Structure 1
């Protein structure tokens, strides 16, 4: 059973975040208290160079800052994969009732990298697994429809890479372009983690994006196909960089996009302009925050993401009668302490979309 705890865990982390030590939540003297909505507005006002926001409340109010600056997207990019899957279902090229082998899904999970999202997804489905999130019976079957749900509800990276492999990059690019996002960076998330675990397979720092993407894709394919390589990766992950500071050089080279890109696709879905497949994508995006719908609204659509020092989200509120407000928020330079407080940030964005006074407060924070 999918519970509020499961959904809010995915909503708050929403991430490809690695397993990191716990951090206390208390703000230091003179620093914004990000345990509150106002604290996040204060943080934004103090870090405008590190903030990209595009927000339109659907009632004539719009604000923007650094909308074309490319920043790390983390798991927010998964709305592209979801849109491609929903399109494929609508066009009849995939059957959501297809029974897929859990071992084929597991093969995209390099043991760490997602805050135990894959482990949580398998438990949600009642699939017995070990502590690393690997199914005890790889021959067990689950419906294909559960894969995009695991990707959105828990932010499962293995589900993301499974869908990318099934659908192909051309289908992902077409799906994103239909919503106004051209050339999204849909590299392998598992490949990125494997290059952090096994840096000898990574390109030199500063290499072109295309080179890093190709290296990551290659190492991910090897992980799927070569049991001996998977065994070697398993031995290596305990010694991988463990702190945000150590992981930051890797994080900076992760997949990027702009607030304008993310906003376009989310707003197309929210305004019912995305066809075919928009209805299914909305149905899935509406689940994580289904109990946080503002008064008078009909639903909230959400996907967030996080990596060291990076916190991102795409969020829409829909009202009866066709009004839809959307926000894309990309933050860089977020401390490990503040990363623990993503739920108040989500609340601040929800408030801004549904309350003109809170929208005005956000506009002031953006300058």
Structure 2
């Protein structure tokens, strides 16, 4: 909410903590380069230009080409760090996430930050291609190679030559096509259907899935060699429920988009509707949020979206107890940050080795008082597993030693 407010008041961009000096410097240079002194022509435009600038500054920061919203939560910060890290390379990236989390936006953002950004970005929905024509769709064909081939066709791989090909829902590929895809990735050469000539291709491959490909490999439904070829680097896109700090940031972006598409001017959300959206679990993730807001914009006759135009499931969720019970921690972000820090310290693993000591510590009145625990130790163990239970015990010990509640 602070980021949204800041952008509406004219901030150029925002940066999430912890601040990385190189990222901060790059952002400052970008701001300086895009906010040079106005020219004479710009000055002569007067109030019209001012209105345009104000309109631009009311939108949260996003990529000009993709509409990618960075987010301000810790999980989003981690996601963006991975994107910035892998984008300049030519590594294949496997993007993992539930349906509707924005995997294609992540892929496009990787492409736009890569050295291939001026070259094509070809997105392919592997689940939407019929098995009978899949080879032709991927690698092309020549005229007369089969019934219905009345013209030469350029396949997706050749169309993406020099750029990036994004294979969405890669787990839906047939086993036969997986073999052909593996050969194309290994040799960087393709052969159109009906042709005797091979075509060299220089492409970067990004793939996405909402399935457990490791399990598919174990079951024999997905080739292990192809899995490792695609998974040189993996990125996990978080669920919207795990990005609560970003919820209203995304909501305002979708509101702006819906206003443009439906030619309306809804200014925001009332307090009750915000509470309902923040309580709801959003199983459909960003796609569900976008559809919900677009429907609400269409239905409302008021200046702001209220509960009357929100779906029934959101209103019911508002009256339910909060399902985000983080046990030892105040929030999901705090849980992730603390557990990561403890994992890196190595002390948690040592404590976990003495499991009975850890259990005794967590059962102590001091520890239960420090965390105001509502769960028995056995329930915490079941939720987090032995290792994270041990990490929680280590944290309890540190808080007790400092006299911190």
Q: Shorter-chain TM-score: what band?
A: under 0.3
Structure number, greater radius of gyration: 2
> TM-score, normalised to structure 1's length?
0.24
TM-score by length of 2: 0.22
Structure with bigger strand share is 1
- Indicate the structure whose relative CO is greater, using CA pairs within 8 Å and at least 6 residues apart: 1
Q: Which has the higher helix share?
A: 2
